[in-house]
Chains A and B, each alone.
Chain A
């Protein structure tokens, strides 16, 4: 197989454009049944291919190593706006043709942007994979940016912001929490951007961003599904081989100084009940403690059997809902808690009850039964996320882009079997530090309205 591939690549590389020469880098397992093949083009484009013939479809993802962390003050939200603009127009094609061609082929396509990355995903019946490769290679290098489209798309993004943040209590509180918890690091501004910045973008801003970050040496293409490797590589080499690499800028990284005092804020929102959001500084995804903290957070907050649900929702009947997550980011992010009070209860009561359980987690180790449950929930979540080719491509793309290890989901699954109560106790004591947390209390402007509804 390896020598056949080498011979095929040698033959192919004699016929491809300037930047299209393909190198096979490595083969790695992806779970028990599948393999990941890593290739690299001469222009630096990484390719991760995973053959999966369970259905006659293919998922095609392009992950760019640029997210909102690469923006600067006054230009926040540019990475996300740009994600929208990538669907507009490329040279030689009419505006909107990209989407029309894909939909006509039966494709499902979308994109997303977060702190560390931007990704574009297309799922397509296998016979149209060539179309997708051609279109994606085109928009990586020949996007057309015009004033009317930029203006219209800014308004669309402003509306998305109103939907997800301004008119959404949890969205707006989360944004405030991050802006409070971070003072220096670029994680302090929201991926969707501040409204004033969204309104102020120019076409030139967008063009500069495109030239700077949308280059083959800043991207990974992930292909999962029913394809023939030799045909796939030939199409990729020909389509992307005409795209030159860029000189990528050095990131203006600002380390977040340690937080030494608790930060508290209080806001009023048009909601019938009080809420509280709490953010503790948490390790980066690649940190050894990230997994231990994630498992601990699952013991405390994951599912109806968790300590917090049992205490706040069932026993004390203080909360409607309480949940938490540990940010999966390249740099240290937040362990974020959000709880919503029942009528007649206050955010401070939620905080007191949460604090009690966090203190207990720092004092005594979790039980083996709790740890087993968190392991089982984590395993189920991972497996369920791999049912479709889309799910597999997302998992590969995410771990490749954030950690540089595309099969890291399985590494984490192996690792959680090795972690014990000591690892979780250490995570609790290292990260549940009150002086390193920020709290947003939400006062209910519409308190009492729900009671009126019942009358």
Chain B
């Protein structure tokens, strides 16, 4: 990675897609590890590090760096997930060189000053308070926290107040030395840039960093607590509820990953899928009703998401549970399978219609260690799915007995109804909305 010259295609950690349609270049510099590296008790440390690197690039002040990036016609953010840190930016072509120099400063020469960390911590704590206004993000946070309880995926990549307060400049500098080494770097450029120019850009960046040990993701696979469990996040004056229901989902290396993806699309992946038809179109209970099946380096969660008004929360939840049971028991119909496959295969055109999107898929494949040819053979793998495979995947991978239900609402108005709506409810807890 740190050789003087990196050639596109020769190094799996350097990706480029050229398109000269617009004078715009998208740049992503990603690290192969993210919040999983947060130290014990220090949730949010890696995110603080990413933000502090951007602010203190080249030893300049945050004010100078903000003015520099915005002044050249660029935008840059540091996005942290459990498994990755991504410095994602875009820049008008004429400023690509200066943007590259800035990224070298951010990655290789951040000052990481303590006074700026203190300021960043105060800012982050205030932002965490502000997220309490967002019911959807509260529901997501509690779903993840409870379904992955005891597993690193249950921690918050964005951080907690206790974790942010716990972070010190020494911790962050240690994290920096471990994480930000060429061995952990993946660089992707797309747009108005030639392969050679992009390779020089990547070489300049990688060669500016000190070498270190590649980090290996040793996170175990998550397991699911048996039974149906409810966490009701109690927030005052809600006219509506946010409901997320789910269990363990898929992993890209599962032999039935593509069959399960096809089945999920038919169940809750689009507007005409079962869930939307039953919840929104027939009953008008929720503006949105979707199911999702995301991936990560370890098994992620399958979940359904709806947001009915308080009076409809219990019947909506009961309906979702019933639909999940029927889905597993009876499976998809032949027509649903054919429709779902056609939709997924044909709509893939919109996952690859720009250079930035194409390079984004390659970047995902590298960062999430997807099986070889995952996206290259994506549509063929979808086409090959049979009804038997899809229905078998539903029975094998999804559970209607081991489920986590996270609901944000006003307990006094929805609690009793919601608890009564869940047959065989193993446990139920009420947490104030402002609990960490």
A162 to chain B, nearest CB (A): 4
Looking at the assembled complex, report how far the CB atom of A446 sits from the nearest CB atom of chain B, in whole angstroms. Answer: 7
- The interface-forming segment of A206-214, A253-261, A447-455 is A447-455
In residues 11-63 of chain B, which contact A (Cβ within 8 Å)? Answer: 19, 21-24, 62-63
Q: Which of A159, A166, A313, A343 counts the most chain B CB atoms within 10 A?
A: A159
User: Which residues 262-281 in A have Cβ within 8 Å of B in the complex?
Assistant: 270-273
Of B74, B133, B282, chain A has the most CB atoms within 10 Å of the CB of B133
Query: Shortest distance in angstroms between A403's beta carbon and chain B's nearest beta carbon?
Result: 23
Known A106-B349, A343-B126; contact A159-B434, beta-carbon cutoff 8 A: no
Question: A273 — nearest CB in chain B belongs to which residue?
Answer: B129
Q: Which of A67-75, A138-146, A150-158, A175-183 contacts B (4 or more CB under 8 A)?
A: A150-158
| Chain A contacts for B309, CB-based, 8 A | 158-159, 162
> Considering the chains assembled together, what is the distance between the CA atoms of A449 and B133 in angstroms?
12
- Chain A contacts of B235 at CB under 8 A? 270
Inter-subunit contact B70/A304 (CB<8 Å): yes
Q: Which of A97-105, A236-244, A327-335 contacts B (4 or more CB under 8 A)?
A: A97-105
Q: Report Cα–Cα, A432/B62, bound state, in Å.
A: 29
In-complex Cβ contact of A160 among B287, B342, B345, B433 (8 A): B287
B132 proximity list for chain A (CB < 8 A): 271-272, 446, 449-450, 453
- In the complex, what distance in Å separates the CA atom of A376 from the CA atom of B68? 11
Cα of A170 to Cα of B239 in the assembled complex, Å: 16
| B191 (CB) vs chain A CBs: closest residue | A387
A325 within 8 A of partner (CB): no
User: Cβ of B194 < 8 Å from any Cβ of A?
Assistant: no
Residue A418 lies at the interface, judged by CB distance under 8 Å to chain B: no
Q: Are B238 and A379 in contact (CB under 8 A)?
A: no
**Bitwise interface map of B from 279 to 308 toward A, beta carbon under 8 Å scored 1, else 0:** 011111111000000000000000000011
Bound: A321/B134 CA distance, A: 15
Complex-state Cα separation, A314 to B348, whole angstroms: 43
Q: Mark A433-450, 1 if CB is under 8 A from B, else 0.
A: 000000000000110011
Q: How large is the interface on B (under 10, 10 to 19, 20 to 34, 35 or more residues)?
A: 35 or more
Whether A387 touches B23, Cβ cut-off 8 Å, given contacts A106-B349, A107-B347, is: no
With A103-B272, A304-B66 as given contacts, are A320 and B127 in contact (CB-CB < 8 Å)? yes
**A335 CB to nearest chain B CB (Å):** 21
Question: Is the CB of B376 closer than 8 A to any CB of chain A?
Answer: no
Q: Is the CB of A134 closer than 8 A to any CB of chain B?
A: no
Which residues of chain B are near A128, meaning CB under 8 Å?
346
Is there an interface contact between A387 and B307, defined as CB atoms closer than 8 Å?
no
In the complex, A235 has a CB within 8 A of chain B? no
A282 to chain B, nearest CB (A): 23
**Could you tell me the distance between the alpha carbons of A340 and B347 in the complex, rounded to whole angstroms?**
40
Contact call A453/B308, Cβ cutoff below 8 A: no
- Give the docked Cα–Cα distance between A446 and B352 (Å): 45
Q: How many residues of A contact B (CB 8 A)?
A: 73
Q: B residues 108-124 with Cβ under 8 Å of A?
A: 119, 122-123
Cβ-defined partner of B284 (8 Å) among A105, A155, A162: A155
In the bound complex, do residue A105 and residue B346 qualify as a contact, i.e. CB atoms below 8 Å apart? yes
Partner of B281, one of A96, A167, A272, A454: A96
Cβ of B271 < 8 Å from any Cβ of A?
Answer: yes
Query: What are the residues of chain A within 8 A of B24 when measuring CB–CB?
Result: 380, 383-384, 387
Looking at the complex, which one of B63, B125, B236 makes contact with A445 (CB distance below 8 Å)?
A: B236
A372 contacts the other chain (CB 8 A): yes
Please name all residues of chain A whose beta carbon is closer than 8 Å to the beta carbon of B128 when the two chains form the complex.
450
Q: Give which listed residue, B129, B133, B354, contacts A387 with CB less than 8 A.
A: B354
Min CB distance, A54 to chain B, in Å?
5
Say yes or no: is B396 at the interface (Cβ < 8 Å to chain A). Answer: no
Pair B287/A163 contact, Cβ less than 8 Å? yes
A320-B129, A376-B70 known; A154-B284 Cβ under 8 A: yes
The docked-state distance in angstroms from the alpha carbon of A372 to that of B70 is: 9
Nearest chain B CB to A18's CB is how many angstroms away?
34
A373 contacts partner chain B, Cβ-Cβ < 8 Å: yes
- Count chain B CB atoms within 10 A of each CB in A57, A156, A317, A389 and give the residue with the most: A156
CB closest residue in chain A, given B344 = A106
Q: A104-B343, A167-B239, A272-B434 are in contact. Are A376 and B71 (CB under 8 A)?
A: yes
Q: Is A56 an interface residue (CB 8 A)?
A: yes
- Docked-complex contact A106 and B339, CB < 8 angstroms: no
Does A153 lie within 8 Å of B284, measured CB to CB? yes
Given A108-B350, A159-B308, A454-B162, CB of A305 within 8 Å of CB of B71:
yes
Chain A residue nearest to B161 (CB atoms) is A454
Which residues in B have their C-beta under 8 angstroms from that of A153? 284
Contact with B along A283-308 (1 / 0, CB 8 A): 00000000000000000001111000
* Inter-subunit contact B21/A33 (CB<8 Å): yes
| Residues of the A chain whose Cβ atoms lie less than 8 Å from the Cβ of B22 | 383, 386-387
Assuming the contacts A100-B339, A270-B237, A304-B66, asked whether A387 and B346 have C-beta atoms less than 8 A apart, the reply is no
Contact with B along A90-128 (1 / 0, CB 8 A): 000000100110011111100000000000000101001
Of all chain A residues, the one with the shortest Cβ separation from B93 is: A383
Cβ distance B128 to chain A, nearest Cβ, rounded Å: 8
Q: List 21 A-B contacts (CB under 8 A).
A: A57-B353, A87-B271, A103-B270, A104-B342, A159-B285, A159-B287, A167-B135, A170-B133, A271-B132, A305-B67, A305-B69, A342-B126, A343-B126, A369-B71, A373-B67, A379-B73, A380-B75, A380-B90, A384-B90, A387-B354, A450-B128
Chain B positions near chain A (C-beta within 8 angstroms): 19, 21-24, 62-63, 66-67, 69-75, 90-92, 119, 122-123, 125-130, 132-133, 135, 161-162, 165, 235-240, 270-272, 277, 280-287, 307-309, 339, 342-343, 345-350, 352-354, 356, 432-436
Q: 9 other contacts beyond A123-B350, A383-B22, A454-B162, with CB at 8 A cut-off?
A: A55-B352, A99-B272, A104-B342, A154-B284, A159-B285, A270-B236, A305-B63, A449-B434, A450-B161
A residues whose Cβ falls under 8 Å from a Cβ of B = 33, 52, 54-57, 87, 96, 99-100, 103-108, 123, 125, 128, 151-160, 162-163, 166-170, 270-273, 302-305, 310, 313-314, 317, 320-321, 340, 342-343, 369, 372-373, 376-377, 379-380, 383-384, 386-389, 445-446, 449-450, 452-454
